[in-house]
Every structure is written in structure tokens, then in C-alpha cells.
Chain A
Amino acid sequence: MNQKLVRTKACQEHQAIWKRYLSNHNRKQLSGFRRMLRSSENQPWQPATESSAQPHDEPAPEVQYATYFMPHRFYCVETICAPCGVVIAWAKFARSESPTHIMEFLETVYPTEESHPDYICIDKACLVLSHSIASGSWERWSRTSRFIVDAYHYINHRVTDYLCRTWCNPAPLDGSAPNLVILDYDKHGQPYYKRAFNTQACEQLNAWLGGFESILRKMTVGNFNWFLHTMLFYHTQMVLEKQTKRESSRSDDGNDDSSDDSD
């Protein structure tokens, strides 16, 4: 095994790589180009960023890092929400948002069949479904749950993907999932179909969480966990308060109507 040279993190053979790393990550350089340019806006002559967003209807490629001179980051924070916006659980995924990790997360949060939700809405539901079938866990999950793609991402999934179109449609109009589509009437009294659930709840939560990204990125793991958990706790309380207010105003309206009728 090659020995590291003193005051460096590389052996003699890889000193060139170490020097290049140092020059790209010194304080002036790093604070400068990280602040000025986002990762997608790098010029061709600047060092390529190692992380990139993964497509949600294709298997994630294995990320190969050029060097391990500094600790890498957790890839993402995964959240589970109820359609009303209440946060049920969250987890950090170390390297990728892969179907394997998503299934492990779901198994942890919903360990028994009784606790399984009827529908699990994920942007890459078709991939998770394929993985679940291949790994054998679908036998258990199929008794209680269905995986569906959220309405926003479904339009970007391939039309030719038979599995996705048949089993992961968030609002099938052929009557195969009457719980997902309900009939409503517009202001002219015309009937129309609408989605029964808000499948964008997590997307909306993540858009809100994104505002804290710049603070969270600079925290240690412990602080990160605490801060994120606190924010999600307060968010959930706020959502519950709003629901209570809405319910009480509805019941007040109902009481007013009934008293008007009796008058």
C-alpha cells in the first residue's frame, strides 16, 4: 500500500491529482465559483460537478467519484406525506434515490400489512413497482397497496411503458380505480372528473423545504437532523391547525344554514 506524503492526502503517484484538488478547493476559488455559478451553469473548462439530479423513470447510474479527499454529502432527503400535507416520516438517502432505498424506507415506516396505505404515490412508482416485483416484496404489498405516479411527473413518463400506463396511472378514467377519480360540478352545473387526492403534497413540501437549503447544507449531521425535524414538526402543526379551522368554519356554516332553514 502506498504511503501518504506528509501534509497531503495522496501518495507520490497521485500528487498531481491532490494539487489539482487543492487548487480547485482553496478558499478563494471555492467560495467564488460556488456562489456565482450554479452547478448546471459550469463552463466547459471548469471542473465538472460530481452530483447531478437523477431521472425519475430510468434506473439511477452508479456514481463514481474521482477522489475521496473530502467527505461526500447525503444525496437527498426523502419525505412521506399524507395528501393533506401532514408529514409522516423523513429519511436521508446516502448515495441515490434508488427503488431499493425507497422500498426499504417504506418497509421501515409501514412494517405491517395493517399499516400499509392503499395508495403510494411516488414520482418513480413504475421503477419501484418493477423493483418490488423483481425482489419478491410485491406479493406482500399487492394485497394492500398500489403504486401510482404523481400527476405532475406522470405526463413525462413514456407512453410506451405498458407497466407504467396500466398500473401506475394516477387518475384512470376507465373506472379501474374509482377511489382516485371523483365527479364534481363546475359553477355552471356541468359535471367533470377531478383527482380525489392531492398527489403533489410532497412536491409542495419540498418546494418549501428548498428555502432552507442554503442553511441546511452547512450543518453537521446532528444539527441537520434537529433543524429539519423541528421545521417539519412545526409545518405539520400548522397544517393540522389549518384543517381544524377549516372544519370548524364548515360546521359553523352548516349550523347557520340549518338555523336559517328552521327560521
Chain B
Amino acid sequence: MDVDSPVARDVTMAVVDGIVFGPPVCNILPLKTITYFFYSTVLMTIVPLSWQMQEVECFVLCMNRNMEPDVIFKDA
């Protein structure tokens, strides 16, 4: 296919890898099932956690601004 063709598009790649660590598996079976169901695979774009991040980010910004006059070593 010619690169100038209207159907040509960018090549995409996904890199997959694992790191060996994890939290302890919960002992309570129903909670474990629910946790696995909701939290096992987390898409960065659609999960409710991403919505929470927006709030957290605002909170951290506000906190930083409020803390600013009290930072002792600001000019150090």
C-alpha cells in the first residue's frame, strides 16, 4: 500500500510486560470476587479511578498553594 493512500495509517504498537510484586490476596471470598471483577484489569482511560484522579489533582494543587507561605526552606 502506498503511504499516500487515504487508507494508510500510522503503525501502532503495544508493549506488554510484568513486574513481580503484588498485594496479599484477600481472604474473604465475596470481597475477593468483587475486587477481582472490578479492579483486576484497569484501563487508564475509562475506570472511575481516573475520575477520582481529577479531584485528587485539584486537591493537591490547592494544598500546595495553601502550604506555600509556610514552607520554611523555600528560598534555600
CB distance from B38 to the nearest CB of A (A): 9
A118 x B12 contact (CB < 8 A): yes
Tell me the total A-B contact number using a CB cutoff of 8 A: 159
Which residues in B have their C-beta under 8 angstroms from that of A110?
A: 14
Main secondary structure of the interface of B (DSSP, over half): mixed
CB distance from A119 to the nearest CB of B (A): 4
Which residues in A have their C-beta under 8 angstroms from that of B12?
A: 82, 117-119
A109 x B49 contact (CB < 8 A): no
A132 touches B (CB below 8 Å): no
Stretch at the interface among A14-22, A23-31, A216-224, A255-263: A216-224
A40 touches B (CB below 8 Å): no
Contact with B along A220-239 (1 / 0, CB 8 A): 11111110011011001000
Which B residues from 3 to 50 make CB contacts under 8 A with A?
11-27, 35-36, 39-44, 47, 49-50
Which residues in B have their C-beta under 8 angstroms from that of A94?
A: 25, 36
Contact with B along A61-96 (1 / 0, CB 8 A): 000000000111111111111110001111111100
Question: Do A77 and B19 form a contact, CB below 8 Å, given A117-B13, A119-B12?
Answer: yes
Q: 11 A-B residue contacts at CB 8 Å?
A: A78-B17, A79-B17, A88-B43, A91-B42, A92-B39, A123-B17, A206-B18, A217-B21, A220-B24, A229-B47, A233-B50
Binding site for A on B (CB under 8 A): 11-27, 35-36, 39-44, 47, 49-50, 53, 56
